[in-house]
Amino acid sequence: MLEEEIKKNINKCSRCALCVQNCPVYKIKKDENNTSRGLICKLAGYENGSLTKKEISKDLKICLNCSKCKHSCPSKVDTSLIFGYKNAEFSPSRISQRILLVLKLLPIKILYFLNFFKKHSFNNKTSEIAYFKGCVAKAQHKKTFLDNLFSKDEFLCCGMPYLAGGDLKNYNKSKKKNIEIIKKYKQIVFDCASCKSAVEDYNGLNEEEKNKLVFFSDFLDKKYKIKNNSKYKGKTVIFHKPCHLNNADFNKIEVLLKNIEGINYKRLDDIDSCCGFGGSYFIYHPVVSSVIASKKADLIKQSSADLILTSCPSCVIGLRYGQIMSFNFKKTLELRDFIENEIEISV
Instruction: Please pick, from the candidates 2, 11, 17, 258, the single residue that binds ligand SF4 as defined by CB under 6 A.
Output: 17
Q: Which CB atom, from 69 or from 253, has the smaller least distance to ligand SF4?
A: 69
Q: How many residues bind ligand SF4 (CB under 6 A)?
A: 28
Write out the E strands in the chain. Answer: 126-132, 150-151, 187-190, 213-215, 224-226, 236-240, 260-261, 264-265, 307-310, 331-334, 343-344
Q: Which CB atom, from 25 or from 305, has the smaller least distance to ligand SF4?
A: 25
| The residue type at 345 | I
User: Does residue 314 touch ligand SF4 according to CB under 6 A?
Assistant: no
Q: Which CB atom, from 245 or from 307, has the smaller least distance to ligand SF4?
A: 245
Q: Which helix (H) or strand (E) holds 171?
A: helix 168-184
Question: Cα separation of 22 and 79, whole Å?
Answer: 13
Burial of 314-339, coded b for 16+ CB within 10 Å and e otherwise, reads bbbbbbbbbbeebeeebebbbbbbbb
Beta-bridge mates of residue 236? 264
User: Does residue 77 touch ligand SF4 according to CB under 6 A?
Assistant: yes
SS3 of residue 21 by DSSP: helix
Q: Which CB atom, from 32 or from 340, has the smaller least distance to ligand SF4?
A: 32
Q: Which CB atom, from 62 or from 220, has the smaller least distance to ligand SF4?
A: 62
For CA atoms 160, 277, 190, 83, give the dihedral sign: negative
Binding segment toward ligand SF4, per CB under 6 A, in 17-25, 165-173, 309-317, 334-342: 17-25
Site string for ligand SF4, 20-49 (x = CB under 6 A): --xxxx---------xxx-xx---------
Question: Cα separation of 62 and 242, whole Å?
Answer: 18
Residue 276 CB, nearest distance to ligand SF4 (Å)? 11
Instruction: Please pick, from the candidates 79, 87, 194, 289, the single residue that binds ligand SF4 as defined by CB under 6 A.
Output: 79
Q: Which CB atom, from 64 or from 257, has the smaller least distance to ligand SF4?
A: 64
User: Does residue 71 touch ligand SF4 according to CB under 6 A?
Assistant: no
Residue 196 CB, nearest distance to ligand SF4 (Å)? 16
- DSSP tag of 30: -
SS3 of residue 293 by DSSP: helix
Q: From residue 297, how far is each of 137, 231, 321 by CA, in Å?
A: 24, 23, 9
Site string for ligand SF4, 257-286 (x = CB under 6 A): ------------------------------
User: Does residue 291 touch ligand SF4 according to CB under 6 A?
Assistant: no
Q: Which CB atom, from 129 or from 160, has the smaller least distance to ligand SF4?
A: 160
* Chain residues that interact with ligand SF4, rule: CB under 6 A: 13-19, 22-25, 35-37, 39-40, 63-69, 73, 75, 77, 79, 83
